[in-house]
Chain A
Amino acid sequence: MGAVVQDWRDIMKTTWSGVRAMTVASLAAAALSPYAAQAAQPDDDPDKVARWIDFREGTFKGRTIDTHGDAVIKLDAPARAADAAVVPIAINAQFPQSPARYIKKLYLFIDENPEPYAGSFEFTPESGLATIETRVRVEDYTFMRAIAETNDGKLYSAVRFVKASGGCSAPADKDEDAAERTAGQVRLQAEGQAVAGKPELAQLMVRHPNRTGMAMNQVTRNYASAYFIRKVSVTYANKPVMTANVNFSISENPNFRFYFVPSGSGELKAFIEDTKNKHWDGAVAVKAQPGSAQTSAMK
């Protein structure tokens, strides 16, 4: 039987002699990996995706979208997501907001989702930086599109391909009633020391099941109805800085990171409404250190 059976000590030997070669190979792989990640993105032809075309025509009425919008927004999403129910994404604005030039609205569209339009985020010059970070549900392997509308009415898009699989380790089904009873705890905070006139990062977390209405409870075999946060309005010193109109594409316990420009002291306030017309709010006083007059928005 010696022919079909290898001795494991031989394998251990090859391991050691192979170490040097492997290190060199891995170094090469590590150096190449950013390019490999780029190459893994399949080509997108936005003129061939029926549901995207429908949405585009309905929402933008034939206006041109610059598909090389890298100078305006970048979409950051993992190429592979282990948990399709929580895929972290960031739409990163590439220039600071100013009254002369700013991003007015960001749209998020996920081609393969049952409801592909995930929602929109509106900004003002007071936002400082029209960057939004959140977590979304993603069905399957899909293109994800972020569209920025600037104050001059121009449209720019950024696209990423996401392979969301997972589910192997989905947590046990939870108690929907309990999730609903505890819904609405709001946590709003500003990150680090705010400096007057400088875009300040804020984070809003809301405890909410944000149910899709499409998931079957494995125990009861029932479908709980869709129930989600549909609107989030954030103001600073009573001026809007971020308004989200969203749906169940946002993951459970919605989490948003965004910017605002503090000036001296003022209150950051969030107002949240869900599909049962329940509403909650959160507020935090922000005391900004005096800063230089020059705004420097980029990190």
Chain B
Amino acid sequence: MTVRRLRALFFTLLFAVSTLTHAAMSGMPAPVAIAPGVYAFIGDNDAVAPANHGIVANNGFIVGQDGVTVIDTGSSYRYGRAMIEAIRKVTPLPVKLVIITHQAPEFVFGAAAFRDEGVPILAHARAAQLIRERCSICLANLRKTLGEDEMAGSRVTVPDQTVNGTTEIESGGRKLQLLHFGPASTPGDLAVLDTQTGVLFAGGLVSNGRIPELRNEQISGWLAALENLRGLDLKTVVPGFGKPLRGDDIMRTGTYLRELEAAVKQAYTSGVGLTEAMHTVQVPAFRNDKLYAIAQPQNVQRIYLQLEKQ
């Protein structure tokens, strides 16, 4: 073998290795089988950081007779690509539809990868509007946190299909209920119920072991939405963040919201200033939840300022 041939072989091998490493995104979780045909990617539930590549939230897919429905898309274009590849390892069926459960940076930015494949993207009309108006700011924030390389190719992708309320659809040969209970964690929350298996993707409505970041919430509506979900007597719920849950366990999110609101109200009415309230108002039972140190003072601020406007 000549030196030139050896070198050629070397570069061929090197190329093969680099394609393989590019094929999988580092930190990409394996899909978890939740029920027949229902899979979830469970993020690490922490704050978005370079170490976790922004893979913090959950998303998933449902394989029907003739196609796949994707629910939520992660925080980058690269993640969206990695989802597509992971889905291909599970089924050769085409992705027919992407559903975005709500407007939040950890859920929307992989959508561009699906759009590049010509997949329609659906959200509640209010979520689509907020993505159009606000997501460029979220994208800039993510770029700052994760860096240009991690966010390469990511762009604001406005859903091209919208619903205005609870709707039943048929996607990929599977009947799905898109549940909307009015403004809750955001103005345009959807929860996706796979009617065949009774698995619910709860999106922004449920968080397991992680403090929800109040960004655009309406607490009374959110609590009502959780009560509605509890009434459905669900077997398995894939929350927006954290491990899958069963039935009543989703109410822990409501407990946090109720206790937070009561504690802030108490501080506000007794004349505690905002800065002090951010230091002192706690919800002790949730201290060990992820994001507590960051999200708790921010949540206190949000509720305090709303009280001030009343």
Interface residues of A (CB under 8 A from B): 1, 4-8, 11-12, 15, 22-23, 26-27, 30, 33, 37, 76, 78, 80-83, 86, 88-90, 133, 135, 141, 165-170, 172, 191-192, 201, 203, 205, 218, 255, 257
Question: 26 A–B contact pairs at CB < 8 A?
Answer: A4-B86, A6-B30, A7-B33, A8-B32, A11-B42, A12-B244, A23-B288, A26-B288, A33-B293, A81-B298, A83-B301, A89-B275, A90-B273, A90-B276, A135-B274, A141-B144, A168-B103, A168-B104, A168-B134, A168-B135, A168-B138, A168-B141, A169-B134, A170-B134, A201-B271, A255-B274
- Tell me if B42 and A191 are in contact (CB < 8 A): no
Answer whether A6 and B275 are a contact pair too, CB < 8 Å, given A82-B298, A169-B216.
no
A-B contact count (CB 8 A): 107
Interface residues of B, CB < 8 Å — how many? 44
Residues in A whose Cβ lies below 8 Å from that of B301: 78, 82-83, 86, 88
Answer whether A168 and B105 are a contact pair too, CB < 8 Å, given A4-B90, A11-B243, A192-B271.
yes
> From residue B40, how far is it (CB to closest CB) to chain A in Å?
7
Residues in A whose Cβ lies below 8 Å from that of B137: 166-168, 170
Q: Does B215 sit at the interface, judged by CB under 8 A?
A: yes
> From residue A201, how far is it (CB to closest CB) to chain B in Å?
8
Nearest A residue to B136 by beta-carbon distance? A167
Residues in B whose Cβ lies below 8 Å from that of A88: 274-275, 278, 301
- Tell me if A133 and B274 are in contact (CB < 8 A): yes
Nearest B residue to A173 by beta-carbon distance? B133
Nearest B residue to A172 by beta-carbon distance? B133
Residues in A whose Cβ lies below 8 Å from that of B273: 90, 133, 201, 203, 257
Task: State A169–B216 Cα separation when bound (angstroms).
Answer: 5
Contact partner, A218, options B86, B133, B135, Cβ 8 Å: B133
> From residue A125, how far is it (CB to closest CB) to chain B in Å?
23
Task: State A173–B45 Cα separation when bound (angstroms).
Answer: 32
Residues in A whose Cβ lies below 8 Å from that of B278: 78, 88
Contact partner, B89, options A1, A76, A135, Cβ 8 Å: A1
Task: State A26–B276 Cα separation when bound (angstroms).
Answer: 24
- Bitwise, B270-284 to A at CB < 8 A (1) or not (0) is 010111101000000
Task: State A65–B135 Cα separation when bound (angstroms).
Answer: 42
> From residue B118, how far is it (CB to closest CB) to chain A in Å?
25
> From residue A49, how far is it (CB to closest CB) to chain B in Å?
20
- Bitwise, B186-215 to A at CB < 8 A (1) or not (0) is 100000000000000000000000000101
Q: Does B67 sit at the interface, judged by CB under 8 A?
A: no
